[in-house]
Amino acid sequence: MIPLDRYPREIRLRDGARLTLRPMVREDADRLWDFFRRIPPEDRMYFREDVGRKEVVERWAENLDYASVLPILALEGDSVVGDATLHRNRTGWMQRVGTIRIQIAPAFRQRGLGTAMIREMRHLGEKAALRHLVAEAIEEQQAAIRAFEKMGFDPVGVYRNFVNDQKGRLHDLVVLVYPMPYSEVEMVF
């Protein structure tokens, strides 16, 4: 289990705005659903699930399991303005690989919140003793790809016509990997 004693944690954006980062709790379902409703439809088209349906977000809140999926929310007061998740397998050959997903409210883009949340995911990955973090983005999401690259993620592959949006159109998927620092002693586990 990743120690969560650093939360809630205050961060400051480039423009001086102060936000709170903390793990999602069951009572955040309405806040998170409201956040997703404020995401433009053209961005929601690429989500893995239809977050426009309240029951999807309620299911996430009801089934929180930080050992498998650790959602970290960025809040301005009581309003969610960012959501980042670290997805992990507890066993098997991918147990040392974490997948991260990040979504930022439009009003908070280009202000440093995405960078702060990527940094937070890297910290959590280190605390979980992961070897790699993986991020995936649709090729059209160039701002997200640049943000990951700026934070040390390397594009390692592009899967052509690999994923479809909610309207059924095919898109290329870009996979980016961040190699976590580790010692030679950790190589054998």
Superfamily of domain 9-136: Gcn5-related N-acetyltransferase (GNAT) (3.40.630.30)
| Domains in the chain: boundaries | 9-136
* Helix pair angle (29-37, 54-62), 10° resolution: 140
- End-to-end CA separation in angstroms for the chain: 16
Between strands 97-104 and 132-138, the pairing is: parallel
Full-model pTM:
0.91
Given this model, what pLDDT does residue 166 score? Answer: 79
Q: Which sign does the torsion angle of CA 22, 19, 77, 144 carry?
A: negative
Model confidence pLDDT, tens digit, residues 10-55:
999 999 999 999 999 999 999 999 999 999 888 887 788 888 889 9
What pLDDT, on a 0 to 100 scale, did the predictor assign at position 62?
96
Give pLDDT tens digits for 125-172.
Answer: 999 999 999 999 999 999 999 999 999 999 999 999 999 887 888 999
Q: Which residue has the higher pLDDT, 182 or 75?
A: 75
- Exposed/middle/buried for residue 88 (C-beta within 10 Å: 0-12, 13-18, 19+): buried
Q: What percent of the chain has pLDDT over 70?
A: 96
Tally: H helices and E strands in the chain = 5, 8
102 phi and psi angles, rounded to 5 deg: -135, 135
> In this model, does residue 183 exceed pLDDT 60?
no
Instruction: Give the pLDDT confidence score for residue 82 in this predicted structure.
Output: 98
Cβ-proximal residues to 188 (8 Å cutoff; 6+ apart), any chain: none
Whether the bond between 8 and the residue before it is cis, its omega within 30 degrees of 0, is yes
